[in-house]
Amino acid sequence: MSGAVREVRSGELEELLELYTHLHEKGTPPECPARAALWEKLLADPSYHIIVAERDGRLCASCTLVVVPNLTRDLRPYGLVENVVTRREYRKRGLASACLNRARELAQAPHLITAPEPQRAASGLDAIRRQNELTQALNRGGEDPEYIKSLILTSAAQRYSQIPDPTPAHKLGQLRARLEEGSADGETLSALLEAAVRAVRLSPGGTVKLELASGRSITEEKEESP
């Protein structure tokens, strides 16, 4: 087998989702703020590893390793492997096995022996209860599909509600709160310019025009020197 076996890169989400259609997915989830935020969260999680095998310039196989904190065996974490998939036209070439071997190497790496730092609690008791109810229903089997669907949607809604909103409106709201606290520093003004202004145009006559993300424009004439 030739080609790289490595962890996925931030710019490969669309190709990874397309690869997952060779697993069990019938399509890819639509692009939306929640999907983008979840992708960033997974990439930043030191316990979550999406391993890919690259061949012929494309992602041809993948598996996911999740390192789980553990209270037994001297607090040593353990690894779970999911989403093992290979493109149909690249199967029987050892690509998935290469990904699994890389997952084994990562799981045995010294920096993964220590459990990751605990994150700030994001779910309330109701969210935990819903998640447990969903897990038990799936383990029992034979439940009404509509009931399972309602549990999944409720659990997902509660999880996604904890993900920071990356939309421009949310960013502007945060910046507005910072401005109300006191005078703006250079960092705040730079962030405000990036979030609120779509383009800056300067005409030959010296007129400066700001095109805002809201669709409005602000125009200012350049003063002539006496």
Residue 70 three-state SS: coil
| Domain locations along the chain | 5-119, 124-163, 168-220
Q: Tens of pLDDT along 152-191?
A: 777 666 666 555 555 556 666 666 676 667 666 667 667 7
pLDDT at 26: 77
Q: What is the pTM (predicted TM-score) of this model?
A: 0.50
Q: Tens of pLDDT along 20-45?
A: 999 887 788 888 888 999 999 998 88
Dist CA 14 CA 20 (whole Å): 10
Classify residue 58 as exposed, middle or buried by CB count within 10 Å of its CB (0-12, 13-18, 19+).
middle
**Which of the four CATH numbers 2.60.40.10, 3.50.50.60, 2.170.130.10, 3.40.630.30 does domain 5-119 have?**
3.40.630.30
